[in-house]
Amino acid sequence: DTPKTAYKRVLLKISGEALMGDQGFGLHPPTVERIAREIQTVHEMGVEICMVIGGGNIFRGLQGSAQGMERTTADYMGMLATVMNALAMQGALEALGIHTRVISAITMNEVAEPYIRRRAVRHLEKKRVCIFAAGTGNPYFTTDTASALRANEMSCEAIFMGKNGVDGVYDKDPAKHDDAKRYDEVSYDDVLAKRLAVMDASAIALARDNDLPIIVFSLDEPGGFRGILAGEGTYTKVQG
């Protein structure tokens, strides 16, 4: 039986690396399928779901530019990488019988819908999972910024940052320090001042200025996403 949740509409952000499994690069279909099943359990609760997926498993603009590419070209390549990830996630969700739309910030009508805010809202009302692809459509931004932007535009109640290997925000890197402590709650300003690893600074500022909470949790635990929406489990809430 399905647990109750206080949330009506949320945005789930995952990095591109969340889709690569143990391969170290690219897409690992069984991993994509596993995450799709996590989303399915939340969809069953009646929650309206937006998604933003990164592209770091395929291409990152900063890496390209560090190797001599023009930054904007490299960033567009990164944005296109997020479209590939979005299509993979769409396929996995649709295989589970969930209706979806891939909505791209860069128009490519043959593979994805263009971003039209009112149309996206309508999809959500019809319980279609909206996967926002191509980031913000602008170089020099990230998919974190895209998450904060779309979550605000879609009036989501929170951004859920699904992480691998970590179940929240720590005062120092828990992989390197045994005494690292997880915050239950932390303010936007502390995240910025202490440079805590949540999202990049422009994304945090965009969330802060619109009072949009960010919930950082682990995607590794089966049922973890659904549990947190039902008020259980460990996570860090960034707000206030």
How buried is residue 40: exposed, middle or buried, by Cβ count under 10 Å (0-12/13-18/19+)?
A: middle
CA distance 172 to 198: 12
Residue number with CB closer to ligand UDP (143 or 218)? 143
Binding site for ATP, by residue number, is 13-16, 56, 60, 164, 170, 173
Q: Minimum Å distance from CB 104 to ligand UDP?
A: 11
Among 60, 150, 208, 226, binds ligand UDP (CB under 6 A): 60
Rounded CA-CA distance 23/111 in Å is 26
Nearer to ligand UDP, 185 or 220 (CB): 220
For residues 201 and 144, the answer to whether their CB atoms sit within 8 Å is no
Calculate Rg over the CA atoms of the chain.
17
Q: Which of 20, 28, 54, 83 binds ligand UDP (CB under 6 A)?
A: 54
Of residues 161-200, which lie at the interface with ligand UDP (CB under 6 A)? none
Site string (80-99) toward ligand UDP, x via CB under 6 A: -xx-----------------
Q: Applying CB under 6 A, which of residues 11, 16, 167, 217 lies at the interface with ligand UDP?
A: 16
Alpha helices per DSSP H over 96-197: 117-125, 143-153, 188-193
Locate 168 and state its tokens: 């929240």
Residue 213 · residue 6 · CB < 8 Å: no
Query: What is the enclosing helix (H) or strand (E) of 237?
Result: strand 236-238
**What binding mask, one character per residue, do residues 61-80 give for ligand UDP by CB under 6 A, x or -?**
xx------------x--xx-
> Looking at 74-116, which runs of residues are DSSP E strands?
100-104, 113-114
Q: Does 219 bind ligand UDP (CB under 6 A)?
A: no
Neighbours of 15 (CB within 10 A): 21
Q: How far is the CB of 175 from ligand UDP (least distance, A)?
A: 17
Binding window for ligand UDP (CB under 6 A); candidates: 53-61, 96-104, 163-171, 188-196: 53-61
Q: Of residues 17, 157, 171, 221, which one binds ligand UDP by CB under 6 A?
A: 17
Specify whether the CB–CB gap between 192 and 205 falls below 8 A: yes
Q: Which residues make up the interface to ligand UDP (CB under 6 A)?
A: 15-17, 54-56, 60-62, 75, 78-79, 81-82, 135-136, 138-139, 141-146
